[in-house]
Structure formats: C-alpha cells, structure tokens
Amino acid sequence: MIEIKVPTVGESINEVTLLKWTKKDGEWVERDEVIAELESEKATFEVNAEKAGILTTIGKEGDTLNIGDVLANIDETAAKPEGVTAPVAAAPIPAAPVNQAAVTAVSNDIKASPVASAIIADKKVDTKSITPSGTGGKIMKQDVLDALNNPGKKSFAADGALFSRNVRQEKMSALRRTISRRLVESKNTTAMLTTFNEVDMTQIMEIRKQYKDKFKEGHGVNLGFMSFFAKACAIALGEWPSVNAYIDGDQIIYHDYADISIAVSTPRGLTVPVMRNVESLSMADIERKVVELAGKARDSKLTAEELQGGTFTITNGGVFGSLMSTPIINIPQSAILGMHKIQERPMAINGQVVVRPMMYLALSYDHRIIDGRESVSFLVRVKDLLENPALLLMGKDPVKALLEL
C-alpha cells in the first residue's frame, strides 16, 4: 500500500484545500494519472498517482489539509480489472398515448401535460421562461400560467420560485481567503494614493489596424494592447526606480529589471502571474507570455514560481467595461497601473474639437516610498510613450537620438 501525501507547494504555505477528486474511490488508476486537484493560497495544482493500482480516497472534497497529510492510498498489489463495463443504455422515452393530440408548437423534447401544451401553443409561450414543477421536469398547467402572469420576472433561487428569501452559505476557498487578507493588508500597511491621467489611443489603434495581420502571420500571436503598456511601463520603471522598488523593514529594495505582474480574473478568483525581464522582451515575446500566463491561470496550471517576485503590476478593468477605478497595490510592490475602457470622447486639439479614442489611466502608489513628483512623472512618461509608439523603440524621440540631443 502506497500513501499519497499532500506535497510541498511553496515556501510559507502550510495548508491546502482539496478541490475535487478526478478519480473515484475504489477506481483503478494508472501511474502518473491525475487523481486530485488541490488549491493553495496562491494557485491550484494536480496530484498524480505514484504507482498503478486501486485508489482509496481519504480526504473529502472541501477539506483543508496540512502539507504532508495522507491524501489517499494506492494498492499497487491489486490486479488490474479486465475490460470496462459497458455503459447502461438510457431507457427510451415512452411515446405519448395515441389518444393525445400532438401539439406541433411544442418540441417533442419538452415534457408537458396536454393542457399545458395547448396553452403554450395557443399563447406562443417561450418554454425557456417556464419553471416545470411536475415529476421528472414535466411542465404543468400552473407553470405556464405563472410564466404568463410574471413576464420578465426572474428568480435567484435554483428552483425558480419567485419572491424567494433563501440564504446560502459557502466556505471561502483558500485562494479567496488569501485575496481577502492581502487586500486588507495592502490598505492597512501602505500609504496608498492614486493619480490619474488619460491617453489618446489613436496611434496604437492605427498600428494594430495596419499590422495586426502581418504580426500574427509572422509571430503566431495577436497584437494586443498589453504589449504596448508593458513595454511603456518597463521603460518608465527604469527611469523612475522608486516605482519599481519596495520597502523591506528599514531598507528600500530597488530592482534593475522589470518583472511585471498581470492581473488575470479566473472563476476561482484573481491571480497575478509574473512576466520576467519585460525590459528585455520584444513585443511578440510579451504577447506570447501574456497568452501563456492567462491560459495557465484560467486552467489553474500556474506554478508557485510564476506567481512570485513581481516588481510592478498592470491590471485591466477595461475588459469588463470599467471607465475609471483606483486599483489596490499588490504588496509588497509599491505601485500598480490600472488600464480602463477605451471610450471615444470629444477632445480639444490645436483649437479644434475632435473625437478621439481615450483611455483613463490610474496609478496607485505607496506614498511612503514614492513621492508625488515621481508618481505623476512616471504616469506622464507612460502616457507619452503610448501616444508616440515610436518612442518605445529606443525610449526617446528618434529625431533627438539622431541629433544626439
């Protein structure tokens, strides 16, 4: 009998949550086959069978387990079952009695009483708006009448009951508890302020429109906005090092590189994987890394290493339609940039009113280490780089570089 124990998943992590078993108790498992999914305070990961054999599960889904606890046992001496039992065929749905008239307006896949079917056909009721109450999901007369009497009224309740007063209680996941703790800690331990600016996205949108097809053909990835923002931030971080630093006790830790975290929303909560050395990456490298990390985050495949060590964070609330927000610092970092929705707005340019695609930018920063001059100058620099993408090539005006100014 082999014991499958909860593995070590990273420094300072002492416990995990058993999300689900991917194999059932008593089921045969092959060596290296995934048997369970665990969630730590930073990421989710899989547990594999160390040997082939019969699985005996010990932990229950939702349990909190300590590192080193026995999760399951595998009997490697058990004989492998021969063959697989064929699935039982589903019983055929009995045909309607001959004396019942067919109602052509109601699909044969929908079970309804004769009276309910007649009302549905006569009133042309959308069956999706009906909550069945009969045995086996059968639609009854009163169900159709309720749908007719309450058009457009929806219920939060799973059973579709209107005016429900039901209250549900769910245990917070390890990831959600960590998010909650870190957000409160960030608010309580930093002197957080937010400064705002706006950027004209005309040039970037023109570049994407002109080169997106060639870019994808040449690099195998779409040209998005994140590469422009990440590259602009990497350049600005090099010029304003305090924005790329953090406080450790009575020391300020500066970084001569830009490891930029990108906030990714997943069904289990917010994760912030890290792109390493963004200052050294090309635009295509950044786009590929964004796709890779976002995919891993949504599939719960991120490693602990991919979630640690960022020096600055970018979050994009614009994908959800946010026009402006004040993002919270991702501690121990000292600053975070918030991107937002691109909105066409009238702008006064050279004495004329023109419509331009504009985006509000928000920089939240820790005032203990970053002064107002540095935060505002950093954000203005990012704005200038985005509005003049040619500057991203060398960090300064090509003409000034040519003239050595």
Residues noted as catalytic: 367, 371
Contact (CB, 8 A) for 24 and 75: no
Pairing state of beta strands 64-66 and 53-57? Answer: unpaired
Q: Which residues of 63-77 are buried (b: 16+ CB within 10 A; e: fewer)?
A: eebeeebebbbbeee
Give the C-alpha separation, 73 to 75, whole Å. 7
- Spatial neighbors of 329 by CB under 8 A, at least 6 apart, are 186, 190, 192, 313, 335, 336, 364, 365, 366
H or E segment and range at residue 29: strand 28-29
Q: How far is CA 142 from CA 11, 104, 119, 146, 161, in A?
A: 59, 21, 10, 6, 13
User: How many residues does the structure list for the chain?
Assistant: 405
- Name the amino acid, one letter, at 2: I
Contact (CB, 8 A) for 195 and 363: yes
Q: 245: closest CA among 86, 365, 137?
A: 365
- Name the amino acid, one letter, at 225: F
Contact (CB, 8 A) for 89 and 41: no
